[in-house]
Amino acid sequence: MFSPDIESDQIGLSSIDLRLGYEFSKLQAKRGITINPSSDDFDPKGLFTSEDYSKPDKLGRRRTFELDTNEFVVAFTLEEVRLPNDLAASIEGRSRLARYGLSVHTTAPHIHPAWVGHIALELYNHGPIPIQLQPGADRVCHLIFHEVKSPVPAEVAKSIGTFVRQKGPYQKPK
């Protein structure tokens, strides 16, 4: 269900804490561009810059990611999540970090049954000071499970999985 495996201290009473992954993508301001998701010819290429924090810095230290005030980035969970077809889930930020202004998902907390992949996190700093996050270690969100009374057939799950195993912050709908 999780890869890499979760540790016992990630298991809560009603949720599983997930760690922050290493990939961060920033949406860049571009003059003359309007995002129109219903347009067939909308191309998101060039709107995001990405950075991988998995390698140590020049001094061999683990890198931290700093989210500035009023800054938005898309990141992913360290754990790849595999849901069975009789469970849905939602992703929620942890109150410990929300008290400093960190939003973990802007509007998209729901995860469909049969989901497979790293979960995209829409990080935003609403607070007045920057927030430093430790990729691979900081538990920034938790996953809450919801039982589905009628399991979703595999062919239906495949048809609604726009972002299953996504490789970047934006993927054009099917």
Q: Which residues are catalytic?
A: 122
Mean pLDDT, residues 119-131 taken together:
96
Q: What is the pLDDT confidence band of residue 63, given thresholds at 50, 70 and 90? A: very high
Confidence of residue 28 (pLDDT cuts 50, 70, 90): confident
Give the model confidence (pLDDT) of 130-152 as tens digits: 999 999 999 999 999 998 888 77
Written out in words, the top-level CATH class of the domain with range 2-6+15-28+48-53+62-159 is mainly beta
pLDDT, tens digit, for every residue of 75-116?
999 999 999 988 999 999 999 999 999 999 877 788 989 889
More confident residue, 26 or 174: 26
Q: Identify any residues that bridge with 131 across adjacent strands, giving them in sequence order.
A: 67
Q: How confident is the model at residue 174 (pLDDT cuts 50, 70, 90)?
A: very low
